[in-house]
């Protein structure tokens, strides 16, 4: 100790009182901290503190198993695939960003390194069939580059009854991740038809509601976040079975349903039969009226509808989607990426045939989808049915340059308009 006290730095000759702690070598010489830093800069001039920080940041970024974008960027991508639903896209973009930002912070900071703990931003989507709920969730998974799976809540029952266990939801996500457990733990699970799991009523019954409230109860833990034991081959659990263990704390759950009749529950709470619209006296509610009512939804309305409060508490982000109008459906047919019409045009173009649709034909398909109440989902079946015979014949014809689809072709099944290669004259065939 006395030797160190009276020693000086072998490089700068300053003593301990001037430099602070001295680092001793096995040979009895000493060096101060300032000289160590100077030596480091001489030996590694390119390795500045900024470079070190940047290198650490890049190393951390490589650990992130997803592609996180800002909310505006997420919505911009959603706009390419989903028409309308601006409010829902904004809500989802913020919720997804907050969720994966939370996951990112947890990856960078070990547990206990910070006092603030952010809750999961699971989402509940309310909207009629064919309005874009599933497509929104699927596109989000594509943007983030994470595994994605869709699960129909109507197939799930309580453990011990005929049907699927809730653990099979997690198994499907693992399968979507090609068996990569680590990657699956940051995926998105879309639970469809969650409204079909609403309690059958507020009155007590002598029979168990094995596919309703019981399923909601069994969903609570995996949605909130838990270590889940999943049978590797699916099916029911049994003793002495090997399990896959997966942490669901970072899995984003998006639950969705049509919630038919929920607007009446909201209307009853507000104490008004009509909000902002004249009562026509025929009991028929317009789409605009339903849209305005659904924007007023509150957790209490969902409880009255039949969802248990514990489940609603684990779905803090609630967003509504509106029924699609005719112009929206026409836009979906023509302008979105991967539209069904573009797919047909691509197929026929590979055979050297141009495919065109009149404006009236597009409107007719949209009108039929609205009449059937199928929304955008029904457009494919309408077009597939209309194009069946045409697609059967056209690949065998070498004289056709262009086919023009008319309204009558869609509505009545009449022949389309052909433009032939040689004569370039219009005639029906």
Q: Return the pLDDT at 105.
A: 83
CA separation for the pair 177, 167 (Å, rounded): 16
Residue 148's nearest CA partner among 134, 127, 131 is 134
Q: Return the pLDDT at 37.
A: 81
135 annotated ligand-binding residue: yes
pLDDT digits (tens, 9 = 90+) for 202-231: 544 444 454 578 788 888 888 988 888 887
**Does residue 129 have a pLDDT over 90?**
no
Residue 105's nearest CA partner among 93, 91, 92, 115 is 115
Domains of the chain: 9-41 (no CATH), 71-108+118-200+211-274+286-320 (3.40.50.300), 326-420 (1.10.8.60)
133 annotated ligand-binding residue: yes
DSSP 207-260: S--TTTHHHHHHHHHHHH--EEEE-TT-S---TT---EEEE-TTPEEEEEE--T
Give mean pLDDT, residues 19-44. Answer: 80
pLDDT category at 60 given cuts 50, 70, 90 is very low
**Does residue 404 have a pLDDT over 90?**
yes
CA separation for the pair 172, 187 (Å, rounded): 11
Give mean pLDDT, residues 357-368. Answer: 94
Residue, of 319 and 112, whose pLDDT is higher: 319
pLDDT category at 29 given cuts 50, 70, 90 is confident
- Weakest mean pLDDT among 38-42, 62-66, 203-207, 302-306: 203-207
255 annotated ligand-binding residue: no
**Does residue 366 have a pLDDT over 80?**
yes
CA 94 to chain centre: 12
Provide the token pair at 89. 């896209």
- Its pTM stands at 0.74
Residue, of 60 and 337, whose pLDDT is higher: 337
Residue, of 405 and 40, whose pLDDT is higher: 405
**Does residue 9 have a pLDDT over 80?**
yes
Q: Return the pLDDT at 53.
A: 46
**Does residue 148 have a pLDDT over 90?**
yes
- Weakest mean pLDDT among 28-37, 48-57, 293-302, 360-369: 48-57
Give mean pLDDT, residues 76-85. Answer: 88
Query: Tokens 């689809």 correspond to what residue?
Result: 405
pLDDT category at 55 given cuts 50, 70, 90 is very low
pLDDT category at 44 given cuts 50, 70, 90 is low
Give mean pLDDT, residues 417-427. Answer: 70
286 annotated ligand-binding residue: no
CA separation for the pair 310, 272 (Å, rounded): 28
39 annotated ligand-binding residue: no
Q: Return the pLDDT at 211.
A: 52
147 annotated ligand-binding residue: no
Q: Return the pLDDT at 125.
A: 94
pLDDT digits (tens, 9 = 90+) for 81-94: 888 889 999 999 99
pLDDT digits (tens, 9 = 90+) for 160-208: 444 567 788 889 999 999 989 989 999 999 999 999 888 755 544 444 4
pLDDT category at 388 given cuts 50, 70, 90 is very high
Provide the token pair at 376. 């955008």
Q: Cβ distance 120 to 224 under 8 Å?
A: yes
304 annotated ligand-binding residue: no
Q: What is the DSSP letter of 394?
A: G
CA separation for the pair 159, 149 (Å, rounded): 21
Q: Cβ distance 2 to 23 under 8 Å?
A: no
131 annotated ligand-binding residue: yes
**Does residue 249 have a pLDDT over 70?**
yes
**Does residue 324 have a pLDDT over 70?**
yes
Mean residue pLDDT across the chain: 81
């Amino acid at each position: 100790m006395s030797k160190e006290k009276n020693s000086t730095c072998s490089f700068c000759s300053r003593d301990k009182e001037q430099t602070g702690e001295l680092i001793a070598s096995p040979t009895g010489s000493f060096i101060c901290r300032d000289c160590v830093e100077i030596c480091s800069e001489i030996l590694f001039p390119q390795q500045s503190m900024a470079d070190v920080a940047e290198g650490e940041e890049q190393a951390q970024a490589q650990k992130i198993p997803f592609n996180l974008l800002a909310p505006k960027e997420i919505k911009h991508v959603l706009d390419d695939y989903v028409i309308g639903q601006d409010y829902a896209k904004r809500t989802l973009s913020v919720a997804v960003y907050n969720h994966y930002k939370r996951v990112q912070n947890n990856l960078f900071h070990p547990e206990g390194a910070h006092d603030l703990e952010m809750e999961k931003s699971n989402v509940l989507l309310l909207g009629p069939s064919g309005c874009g709920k599933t497509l929104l969730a699927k596109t989000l998974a594509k943007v983030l580059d994470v595994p994605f799976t869709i699960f129909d809540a109507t197939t799930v029952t309580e453990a011990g009854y005929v049907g699927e266990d809730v653990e099979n939801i997690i198994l499907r996500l693992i399968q979507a991740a090609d068996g990569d457990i680590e990657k699956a733990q940051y995926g998105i699970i879309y639970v469809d038809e969650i409204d079909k799991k609403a309690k059958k009523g507020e009155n007590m019954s002598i029979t168990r509601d094995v596919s309703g409230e019981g399923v909601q109860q069994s969903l609570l833990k995996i949605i909130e976040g838990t270590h889940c034991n999943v049978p590797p081959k699916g099916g029911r659990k049994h003793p002495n079975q090997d399990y896959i263990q997966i942490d669901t704390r970072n899995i984003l759950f998006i639950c969705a349903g049509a919630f038919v009749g929920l607007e009446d529950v909201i209307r009853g709470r507000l104490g008004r039969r009509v909000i902002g619209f004249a009562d026509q006296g025929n009991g028929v509610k317009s789409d605009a009226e339903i849209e305005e009512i659904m924007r007023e939804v509150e957790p209490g309305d969902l409880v009255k509808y039949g969802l248990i409060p514990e489940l609603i508490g684990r779905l803090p982000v609630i967003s509504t989607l509106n029924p699609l109008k005719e112009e929206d459906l026409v836009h979906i047919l023509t302008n979105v990426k991967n539209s069904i019409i573009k797919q047909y045009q691509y197929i026929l173009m590979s055979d050297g045939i141009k495919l065109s649709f009149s404006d009236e034909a597009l409107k007719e398909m949209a009108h039929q989808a609205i009449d059937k109440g199928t929304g955008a989902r029904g457009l494919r079946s309408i077009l597939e049915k209309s194009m069946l015979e045409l697609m059967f014949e056209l690949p065998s014809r070498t004289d056709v340059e262009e086919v023009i689809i008319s309204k009558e072709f869609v509505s009545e099944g009449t022949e389309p308009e052909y433009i032939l290669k040689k004569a370039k004259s219009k005639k029906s065939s």
